[in-house]
Structure formats: C-alpha cells, structure tokens
Structure 1
Amino acid sequence: MTTVSRISRPLRTAARRAKRSWIGWAFVAPFMAAFAVVIVAPLAYTVYLSLFRQKMIGGNAFVGVENYTQQLTNPVFWDALLRVSLYMLVQVPIMVAIALAAALALDSARLYAARLFRLAIFLPYAVPGVVAALMWGYMYGTHFGLIGNLDDFFGITLPDPLSSNLVLASIGNIMVWLTIGYNMLVFYSALKVVPGELYEAAEIDGAGAFRVIRAIKLPAIRPALGVAIVFAVIGAFQLFNEPNILKVLAPNAISSHFTPNMYAYNLSFAGQQYNMSATVAILMGLITVVVAYIIQRVAARKEA
C-alpha cells in the first residue's frame, strides 16, 4: 500500500461521514424550519417584548427585569394565579379519579353495554370548548336556563352556579365533563397492555378485585397517570375560553383578570400594554414548566 493511498483512505472516510451527516440534517430541516418559525421565533419575540416598555416620552425603552418585578408585586397577578391554582388543585384530582374509575370499570369486563358506556363518556371530548361553555352557560342560567326552569317547576330557589362563590366550581364542572373521556381512553389503553400472566398469578394467589387493582393495575399504568396529570395541570394553568365566554353571563363574578391568561389577554387587547402582557405570559410559562417538572420528578421517584 502506497503512502498516498494510506493518506487518502481516512480522507474518503471523513468525507462519507460528512455526507451522511448532511443527509440527516436535510431530512430534519423541514421540521427544524417549522419549529423555528412557529415556536422559537414567537417565544423569542415575547421575551424581547417583556424586557421593554412603551413610555410616553422616549418611546420603547429597555427596562430589563423591571416589568417582571412589577408583576411579581402586583396583587392582581397573584389573585389570578391563586385562583387558577385553587382550580387546578380541585379540578385535576376529581377529573383523574373519575376517568380512572371509568377506565377500571371498562377493563373489568363486567360492565353492561360497555361500548355504549365508553362512547357516552368520550362523546363530550368531541365538543369544542367554546360550544361546551355556551351550552353549560345556558343550563346555568337562573332566568332562562335549566336552573331557572327547575326553580319554576319545583317552586324553589337553587343556588346560582354563576355567582361569585360558585362560578369557579361551575367552570371546573365544565372542564371535568369535557376531559374525562380523553383521559379515560388513555388509562384504558394502558390497562389493555398489562401482561395477562400477572392476572393469572393473582388469581392463583386468590387475590380479590381490589387487591388486583392496587397491586397490579395501578402500578402498571403509573406512567400514563403521570402524563395525564401533567397535561391536566398545564391545561388548568391555561384556562381561558370558558371563563372568558361565561363573563358575559356573570360580569360581576368573572373579572377581566379572573385567570392569568385572561389578565394577559386584556392587558394586550384592551389596555394596549403589550409589554406587560408578554411579561405575564413568560411568568406563567415558567411557573407551568416548574410545576410540571416537579410532578414528573415526584412520579419518577415513586416509580423507582
């Protein structure tokens, strides 16, 4: 083997590796371009807006973290955050518990008309959130809706679901009704892949139905439970459509800062305070990421 051939072989190998590398980048380039345009660019622009402030004299001026400091000391922001946190702490466990119970009932193979039961629970998920809010808002009405009709028929006065004390629970009821079906299918799909040998061993040991659920089914679907809880928490922090639509029916109970997303929306489109709106959006994004990360860590630790 000549000296030239010994030198050229590594060069040809390096060239082939570089070519394969560029081929790989060519395949992922369409996704990376879409990701940059749809995700990275809007996020970067939002961060940019949050670092500036429009002033009457001087125009758009760089203020650093001053917008963040102002919002973190703003009682309006904390009021909205605490309200949506309370909503999350109540709505998410109720939704997960009902969806899990429905999935376990389907998986038991003892449920009569199981297909009809599954369809009935999943059907609300096919209803758009805006339509669901309008529909439930009509039923909540004390003068024209279901509550009002029941009051007239029985001659009683039921509590107003859209009052200040009950409106958050009423919104939670809408979201539970909407999301049970999807999460039920997630849990049911996870239950269907549990190895049959585990059930056979439990039957030989004489384990009852509740022991099987506690010792086999729940540990087997723990990853699915963790994913469902994370997505439910993210959805709770993003609460916007339902209170924004019901605000027309309950203007005294639902304020313009009822949730952080409503607060950011009204800062931007009603108050023309785009910089503050961007600041609230970034803060809520960071809070959501931290909470979701904590939940994932807790779930991973229990799984280990």
Structure 2
Amino acid sequence: MAVFALVFLAPIGYSIYLSLFRTRLIGGTAFVGAQNYTDALSDAQFWSAFGRVALFLAVQVPIMLFVALLLALAIDSGRLYGAGFFRISVFLPYAVPAVVATLMWGFMYGTRFGLVGNLQDRLGVTLPDPLSPKYVLAAIGNVVTWEFVGYNMLILYSALRVVNPALYEAAAIDGAGQLRIIRAIKLPALRAPLLIATIFSIIGSFQLFNEPSIVKTLAPNAITTYFTPNLYAYSLSFSGQQYNYAATVAIIMGVLTMIVAYAVQLRGLRRAA
C-alpha cells in the first residue's frame, strides 16, 4: 500500500495540486481554482488533439482486435503448421521498444529512402507519402497495430486454451463444423477477454505519445505540438514552461479515459448478461 501510494496516488495528487495554480510573469504563482479547467475545456487545440485520438481509437482498435482474433483462432485451430513458431513471431513485435519500432517503420515510410522510396524507384510510380499530414495518423496506426496485435492475440489465445475440450467433442459428434464451433463455443468464451483487451486498447489510444513524438522528428510538418493530448501536455510543460496548464490537461484526459473505459465495460457487461 505504501508503494502504491508513493508511485500512483502521490503523482495524481500533485498533478491536481498543480492544476489549481497558475504562474504569471507578473505576480508569480497564484491560486486560480478551476480556472485552468475552464480554459482547457474551451481550448480548441486540446479538443482537436482529443478528436484525433478518438478517431484513432475508433479505427485502429477494432482493426487490431479483429486481426488478433483471427490469429488466435488460427493458432487454436490446431491446423496451422508451425503454430508455436507463428505464435512467437506474432508476439515478438511487442518486445520491441516503441521508439525502435517507430524509427524502423519511419525509415521504411520515407519517400526518399527506405521501402516506399525503393518501391517508387522500382515501379516507376508515385506512391502516397505515409509521413504526409494526410496519412500520418494511419501510418502511426499501422505501427501501433504491428506492436500490439501479438499482445492481444496472446490474451485471446490464452482464453481459448482453457475452454473444456469436451465441448468441442460434443459439437463434433452433433455434426457441427468449424464455423459453427467458432460461433457457438469460441466467440462466447472470448467475450470477457475481448472486453479486457478493448479497455486496455482504449487506455493505450488515449495515452498515444511515443509514436507521434518520434515521427515528429522524421516529419515535423505532419505532427503538430497538439497532435495528441499527451504530446500537447508535454509541449506545454517542457517547451512552454506551463506546468500548471499541462497538469490540467493530464487530469482531464485521465477523467475522460476513465469515463470512456467505464462506458465500454458497462456496455460489455450488459451484453454478457
């Protein structure tokens, strides 16, 4: 409990404390109450960043979980050749640090270097620039999917491994095919694990920081300082020296993340009931 209070509760409490003050050039630091929250809730840059990660969540998370589900079903089917090697290979990107993964994909995305540039030279065509402002969010989504699809696959596959084999035998005796077994046995068994994976993915999407911050060094024109809420708070704190306002943004994002995650959990529990 002491460690939990030190590493979890204390930083949250200190952030709330900072968010209630404001430092001015003239007058120093003064207590402003909820004024920082009022300003943040009417901040167009904050809502632009929030809308961007909400779009990212709505598109990337379903795709990632769908791919993870397909991979888990394929490995669990027992018909995949080299299933053990395949499982490790899919999970391996999760062990790659986010900075390394983003740099690797960032160089492959380059139109003057890397894979995209080589394909353009070889095929003699002009491909869309993944690091352009129009496509950079999708490019980051591809990196995140590559990183975490194996992690989510392992969650779902672990849940499938604890299903009673007698259920499969009974279904086979009744003449059920593989698709029927998936719909009637495997998918119901994956409701709770899918809910957990969804909640983790929601939290991760709202915390999006490493990937855009690294891509910003490769494509500075495509990533703004308010590209994501976390990047916005970081810029406010370490570039703008606005620690109080940065803490306010962090607290608001924490509350919004809890609300969205709780709403998804509540919806999932109602469906299960």
Q: Indicate whether the TM-score tops 0.5.
A: yes
Counterparts of 1:120 and 1:38 in 2: how far apart (Å)?
34
Question: Could you tell me how far apart the structure 1 residues matched to 2:112 and 2:101 are?
Answer: 19
1:275 counterpart letter in structure 2:
N
Moved more, 76-85 or 60-69: 60-69
State the Cα distance separating 1:56 from its structure 2 match: 2.5
- Does residue 121 (structure 1) correspond to residue 90 (structure 2)? The answer is yes
The correspondence of residues 204-243 of structure 1 with structure 2, limited to 5 A, is 204-243=173-212
1:164 equivalenced with 2:114 (yes/no): no
Q: 1:282 aligns with which of 251, 260, 263?
A: 251
Q: Please report how far the alpha carbon of residue 57 of structure 1 lies from its aligned counterpart in structure 2 after TM superposition.
A: 2.8
What is the distance in 2 between the residues matched to 1:77 and 1:270?
16
Which residue of the partner structure matches residue 252 of structure 1? 221
Which whole-Å CA distance do the structure 1 matches of 2:245 and 2:159 have between them?
43
**CA drift at 1:243:** 0.5
Aligned partner of 1:179: which letter?
F
Q: Which residue of structure 1 lines up, in the alignment, with residue 267 of structure 2?
A: 298
Secondary structure class of the residue paired with 2:30? strand
- Post-superposition Cα deviations, 1:219-264, rounded to whole Å, max 9, x if no partner, equal 1121111100100110000000010001011111110110000000
Determine which of 147, 150, 156 is the counterpart of 1:178: 147
Per-residue CA deviations over 1:253-291 (Å, capped at 9, x if unaligned) read: 110110000000000000000000000000000000001
Match of 1:28 in 2: none
Cα distance in 2 for partners of 1:156, 1:58 equals: 60
Question: Which residue matches 1:97?
Answer: 66
Of the three residues 52, 68, 78, the one matched with 1:109 is 78
| Moved beyond 3 Å, runs of 4+ | none
Q: Report % sequence identity.
A: 62
Amino acid at match of 1:228: A
CA RMSD across the alignment = 0.8
| Mapped partners of 2:97, 2:218: distance in 1 | 19
Q: Give the distance between the partners of 2:47 and 2:33, measured in 1 at CA.
A: 21
Match in the other structure for 2:116: 147
Within the candidate set 72, 87, 90, 2:56 is matched to: 87
Among 28, 40, 53, which residue is 2:22 paired with? 53
Give the whole-Å Cα distance in 2 for the aligned partners of 1:223 and 1:83.
28
In the alignment, which of 7, 32, 54 is matched to residue 63 of structure 1? 32
Aligned length: 273
Larger radius of gyration: 1
Instruction: Indicate the SS of the match to 2:218.
Output: coil
Of residues 40, 43, 47, the one that matches 2:9 is 40
Partner residue, 2:239? 270
Higher relative contact order (CA 8 A, sep 6+): 2
Q: Which amino acid aligns with 1:182?
A: Y
State the secondary structure of the residue aligned to 2:33: coil
Structure 2 residue aligned with 1:187, among 156, 170, 174? Answer: 156
Q: Give the counterpart letter for 2:71 in structure 1.
A: A
* Separation (CA, whole Å) in 1 of partners of 2:240 and 2:19: 15
Structure 2 CA distance, aligned partners of 1:258 and 1:167?
11
Partner of 1:24: none
Rounded Cα–Cα distance in structure 1 between residues aligned with 2:203 and 2:24: 34
The CA distance in 2 between the partners of 1:45 and 1:127, in whole Å, is: 32
Q: Secondary structure at the match of 1:247?
A: helix
